[in-house]
Structure 1
Amino acid sequence: MFIGIFLVLTWFVLLIRYPSKALPISGAALFSLALVALWVVWMDNREAHQLARLEMRIAYDPQGCPADRPLRLNLNNGNSVPMLELQWQVAAYAPGENVNLAENLYTAPRYRGPGELQAGADWQDCLPLPALRPGYRPQTLEFRAERLQGSFSK
């Protein structure tokens, strides 16, 4: 923080003392910073739109999945580009409620996708059940993927 304050004060002194030289350089620096900020915002919005086009359905399916991984995941890549990687956390909700019943501890698992998934392709897998708050049974809950993070090819 001290270095930042020092740099701002130095820039201010140079701007007052040598305005004809410092002003064009400051303008170019601000323009470059604005371009970088716009590019970051554009990339973030692009990734958010691509993640929104993913269709993920998670259901409790003890008959169709192994006992240690009773959640069935169906994933469809609705994008026009391949998905390179995907991570998420599973949340559990009672029907009609908005309180997450999965314990969100620091050690809560982060689930990973299939790696590369082509545009329009489907993927199915069985997932382990997240730790639930005491007193709740998984067959009475709805499961959703939250905190999605992913990357897509360009």
Structure 2
Amino acid sequence: MFIGIALIIIWLVLLLRYPAKALPVSLAALCGLGLVALWVAWLDTREERQLARLELRMHYAPQQCPADRPLQVQVKNGNTIPLVELRWRVAAYAPGDTVNLVENDYDGPRYRGPGSLLPGSSWNDCVPLPALRSGYRAQTLEFRAERLQGTFSG
């Protein structure tokens, strides 16, 4: 923080002492920073749009899945480019409620999707249940994917 403050003070002194030389350089640097900020914002909104085109569904399915992984996950890539990596957190809600019933454990399961998913294709798998708050049963809850993070090629 000290270095940043010192750089700003030095820049102001140079701007006041040598305005003919410092002003064009400052404007060029400001334009460069603006372009970098626009590029980062564009990449961020592009990733959000791509993640919004993914169709990710979860439901408790002990009949179709092994006993140690009773949560069935279905992912469909609605993008025009392949999905390279997908990570998410599972949230569980009672019907009509907005309180997440998953215990927030740092050592809980980490959920990852397929290694690569082509445009328009689907992926199905069974994953373990997260630790639920006491008193709730998985068959009575709605499961959702939250905090999606993904990378796409292209």
Q: State the one-letter code of the partner of 1:120.
A: G
SS at match of 2:63: coil
The equivalent of 1:103 in structure 2 is 103
SS at match of 2:136: coil
The TM-score with structure 1 as length reference comes to 0.98
Q: 1:104 Cα shift?
A: 1.6
SS at match of 1:92: strand
The equivalent of 1:69 in structure 2 is 69
Task: Give the percent of matched residue pairs that are identical in Structure 1 and Structure 2.
Answer: 68
Separation in 1, partners of 2:70, 2:24: 63
* Unmatched tracts of structure 2, length 5 or more: none
Separation in 2, partners of 1:44, 1:153: 15
* Unmatched tracts of structure 1, length 5 or more: none
The equivalent of 1:57 in structure 2 is 57
Separation in 1, partners of 2:16, 2:49: 45
Separation in 2, partners of 1:87, 1:64: 23
The equivalent of 1:37 in structure 2 is 37
- The reply on whether 1:84 has 2:70 as its aligned counterpart is no
Separation in 1, partners of 2:131, 2:28: 53
The equivalent of 2:151 in structure 1 is 151
Separation in 2, partners of 1:41, 1:109: 31
Q: 1:30 Cα shift?
A: 0.3
The equivalent of 1:13 in structure 2 is 13
Q: State the one-letter code of the partner of 1:113.
A: G
Separation in 2, partners of 1:8, 1:118: 48
The equivalent of 1:22 in structure 2 is 22
Deviations 1:116-143 (A, max 9, x none): 1000000000010000000000000000
| 4+ residue runs over 4 A deviation | none
Separation in 2, partners of 1:100, 1:109: 16
Separation in 2, partners of 1:27, 1:108: 50
